[in-house]
Amino acid sequence: MRRKVTIVGSGNVGATVAHRLADRQLADVVLMDILEGIPQGKGLDLLEAGPIEGYDIRITGTNSYADTANSDLVVMTAGFPRKPGMSRDDLLKANFEVVKGAVEQVARYSPECILIVVTNPLDAMAQAAYKVSGFSKNRVMGMAGVLDTARYRTFLAEALNVSVQNVQGFVLGGHGDTMVPVPRYTTVAGIPVTELLPQDQLEAIIRRTANGGAEIVNLLKAGSAYYAPSAAVVEMIDAIFHDRKKILPCSAYLEGEYGIHGLFVGVPVKLGSRGIEQIIEIKLTPEELAALRRSAEAVKELVQVIGV
């Protein structure tokens, strides 16, 4: 029996996730949205591409959570978009209400699913989803680190004029200005990046990575990134559905790891069929650990505001 993925929110991120899932034939897809006609229209359009693209998966658009029942995995993209000059934190209270209502329905109709949160501010929304759903912590995660790392790797590859596939590294911390790229663990074809780029250029790339989302928002003028975020979500889904045991940076609920308690923060995790199967605790310098804990404090301020 084919797997079923529900995407809550049929905007640019949600619809592009659906498109990528269809192209890779990873699962049947339900596009769920409160706007009448939008998920139905996008779902039908994607379905009609099947004979050309060669996929046979079912794609359904709906305004009813009943159609999402028994999903194996749910992607939460619903929420208000970020506009130029707007910080992720500005979205906090409005998007909390959206996520809270949606997760209550998801938990009702798909109580065994794995939940990937994309709605911003991401780490706080993942925490809200965890608390509202009552799911075990391995089944709730936030998509942030995969996206932030992709941006980091892109900028490094550009600077060095090498394949992005040669660049390996990851970004820790909350999704936003306090994220923590770790150059010490960044390599290019196995060579430490610190041996290939001067410190000032590396620091400029780290700053650009932290502001990667805002850079695209300011260029688009209306809307925000969706190609790279959707690719990041699908990489996570692929790792889960194929039980790859793949180590990826994700927002995960920490209970003492890195000295952080009771918060969703971006760290390397092992993704497999049960969701987050292990939190990888790497050795950090005192400076790196302090930066990660500062990032966690920024997340803590948000979750205190919404009371989760």
Cβ atoms 152, 205 nearer than 8 A: yes
**Count of all residues that appear for the chain in the document:** 308
Of the residues 19, 175, 242, 261, only one is catalytic, namely: 175
Angle between helix 122-133 and 92-109 (nearest 10) = 40
CA dist., res. 47 & res. 49, Å (int): 5
**CA 73 to each of CA 3, 4, 48, 65: distance values in angstroms, whole numbers, following the listed order:** 8, 7, 24, 14
Beta-sheet strands, E only, within the chain: 4-8, 28-32, 59-62, 73-76, 114-117, 140-142, 167-168, 171-172, 180-181, 187-188, 191-192, 246-255, 261-272, 275-279
Residue 128 has which token pair? 């809200």
Q: Are 42 and 36 in contact (CB under 8 A)?
A: no
The tokens of 225 are what?
Answer: 């990134």
Instruction: Please say if 19 is a catalytic residue.
Output: no
- Per the CB < 8 A criterion, the answer to whether 216 and 225 are in contact is yes
Catalytic residues: 175
